[in-house]
Amino acid sequence: MAATNVMTAPALPDPPIMNETPETYHYVPQDLSSKIPQTASLEVSQEIPQEEQSQESSHVVEPEIPETIQELPKEVAQELSTEEVKVTRQKPSTREGKPIIPVKDDLPPSERVTFDPAKHIKFTPPSKVWTMQELDYAEGQGISPVGVSEPFPLFSEEAVKQMRAEILSEKVWDKYKYSSNLSQCQLRGYAPECAPFIYDAWKSPEVLEIISKIAGIDLVPVMDWEIAHINIAVKSEEEKAKELEIVHRNADEGVADCALEEDDQPVVDWHTDSYPFVCVTMLSDCTTMVGGETMLRKGNGGTVKVRGPQMGSAVILQGRYIEHQALRALGAAERITSVTSFRPRSAAVKDDTVLTTVRGISDLKELYHQYAEYRFEILQDRFQAMGRKLRDRKRASRPFDTAATKRFIREQIEFLEAMDREMVSDELVQKGYIGDGHLVSEETRQTAKRRGLYVEETVAA
Ligand SMILES: [Fe+2]
């Protein structure tokens, strides 16, 4: 079902001054129904190689038990400039070999279709959208009053089937598979070249309208490179059965939060995302799955748990501003999530994007190119709008506004300085390694280091 309400970008009432989010760009969904998201079902391959194991996946990053320095591939070691960065302990950047999931193009060309919003969107509004205010965040925190949505149906069964077929193609796995210290298997950047259905879905005005409406701000994918980042986690049937046995046994014994009793470590500890908004879509049948929720930190220090989506459903989170952690999911043999990140469509809205969690798992040249391109476009739009404002004031015989112009200049300088910081020199970016910069508290950092997820880094003067 396509969305019924058409959203249009609000017109600029006045040339913008940066770092202020005009109220005209904010709107809270008014017509969210109380329908419970539906559960879709789809036949998926469960033939998981016994020898392959993985950790659970999360929406952006997934932790993995680190291995030893001896296993660090040579080319990764060479990536580091040892004169400038001293790494006392390192991890493997990539894990070559056969895929952890059967990769087969099981959808013949005759069954491939193009994305059709009327057929492939199966949207039901979320039962609840938590506002930033409800999460006790101060007014003005973030770019929208919306914090997170409950899961909601978004794509039809056929859409999920098409997406899975595109993802599980050999070309995607050969060219676009990434691993890191936090995740064994991710597929990134493949959409423009290898996945026309997925690419068109996330670029379609209808999907963007739905995402924007729920998010409470007009959004676009942050860049093509981040369209449908895929997290993949696979367990053997044996592991899955063992987990379910533990879950059921603990449930019989009345143990609260039984899914976490065996290992109460979250998949990803408290952190914030690199991008303002994220939409996580489930592409696996996880009806037997237990756990897998996202825990959010409220502004007052309390926590709230948001359940994970079922197949074809999605969750939207303002993850750049809300501290969150991904809880472990048990009892699912296969878990494939699609994560598309978003930024504000309007150049007038602040863009606090960082590249902390993505530098090490990207084609760096492509990432930097797309990041620079869209950020420069924002600057062009801002300068054009500011130029018009100056001109209009002059024509209206208003005095030159020195203070506002200096403020504008300062904001653009800070915008460019942020770009300079984020575009870390190529030789200093270690492939397959995500640092701890996205972790929020020092306590979380120390915990993660004890778990062996991050290395001590010493940057020479
Ligand atoms: Fe996250």
Token pair 């290898």 is at which residue? 194
Cα–ligand 1 centroid distance for 228 (angstroms): 15
Token pair 């969150």 is at which residue? 324
Cα–ligand 1 centroid distance for 404 (angstroms): 36
For the chain, the three-class secondary structure string (H helix, E strand, C coil) is CCCCCCCCCCCCCCCCCCCCCCHHHCCCCCCCCCCCCCCCCCCCCCCCCCCCCCCCCCCCCCCCCCCCHHHCCHHHHHHCCCCCEEECCCCCCCCCCCCCCCCCCCCCHHHCCCCCHHHHECCCCCCCEEECCCCCCCCCCCCCCEEEECCEECECHHHHHHHHHHHCCHHHHHHHEEEECCEEEEECCCHHHHCHHHHHHHHCHHHHHHHHHHHCCCEEECCHHHCCEEEEEECCHHHHHHHHHHHHHHHHCCCCCHHHCCCCCCCEEEECCCCCEEEEEECCCCCCCEECCEEEECCCCCEEEECCCCECEEEEECCCCCCEEECCEECCCEEEEEEEEEEECCCCCCCCCCCCCCHHHCCHHHHHHHHHHHHHHHHHHHHHHHHHHHHHHHHCCCCCCHHHHHHHHHHHHHHHHHHHHHCCCHHHCCCCCCCCCCECCHHHHHHHHHCCCCCCEEECC
Token pair 């100056």 is at which residue? 390
Cα–ligand 1 centroid distance for 109 (angstroms): 35
Token pair 């054009």 is at which residue? 384
pLDDT of residue 333: 82
Which amino acid is it at 390?
A: L
Cα–ligand 1 centroid distance for 434 (angstroms): 13
Neighbours of 204 (CB within 10 A): 17
Ligand 1 ion: residues within 5 Å (CB): 60, 273, 319
Cα–ligand 1 centroid distance for 452 (angstroms): 19
Domain ranges of the chain: 23-346+434-459
Cα–ligand 1 centroid distance for 389 (angstroms): 38
C-alpha span between 325 and 59 (Å, rounded): 10
Cα–ligand 1 centroid distance for 315 (angstroms): 12
Torsional sign, CA 209, 215, 219, 224: negative
Which two tokens mark 248? 């059921």
Cα–ligand 1 centroid distance for 379 (angstroms): 27
Q: Which of 334, 30, 62 is nearest to 178 (CA)?
A: 62
pLDDT of residue 453: 67
Cα–ligand 1 centroid distance for 273 (angstroms): 5
Cα–ligand 1 centroid distance for 294 (angstroms): 9
Cα–ligand 1 centroid distance for 282 (angstroms): 15
CB 432 within 8 A of CB 361: yes
Cα–ligand 1 centroid distance for 451 (angstroms): 18
Cα–ligand 1 centroid distance for 269 (angstroms): 9
Torsional sign, CA 9, 11, 13, 16: positive
Cα–ligand 1 centroid distance for 268 (angstroms): 8
Cα–ligand 1 centroid distance for 249 (angstroms): 31
Cα–ligand 1 centroid distance for 180 (angstroms): 15
CB 167 within 8 A of CB 283: yes
Cα–ligand 1 centroid distance for 355 (angstroms): 13
Q: Which of 435, 415, 7 is nearest to 205 (CA)?
A: 7
pLDDT of residue 98: 52
Cα–ligand 1 centroid distance for 110 (angstroms): 37
| pLDDT digit string (tens) for the chain, length 461 residues | 444 343 333 333 333 333 333 322 233 333 433 333 333 222 333 333 333 333 333 344 433 333 332 333 444 334 333 333 333 333 434 434 455 666 665 788 889 999 999 999 999 999 999 999 999 999 889 999 999 999 999 999 999 999 999 999 999 999 999 988 878 889 999 999 999 999 999 999 999 999 999 999 999 999 999 999 999 888 777 777 777 777 666 666 654 444 444 445 666 778 899 999 999 999 999 888 888 888 999 998 899 999 889 999 999 999 999 999 888 888 888 889 999 999 999 999 999 999 999 999 999 999 999 999 999 999 999 999 999 999 999 999 999 999 999 999 999 999 999 999 999 999 999 888 887 777 766 676 677 666 666 665 443 33
Cα–ligand 1 centroid distance for 441 (angstroms): 15
Cα–ligand 1 centroid distance for 156 (angstroms): 25
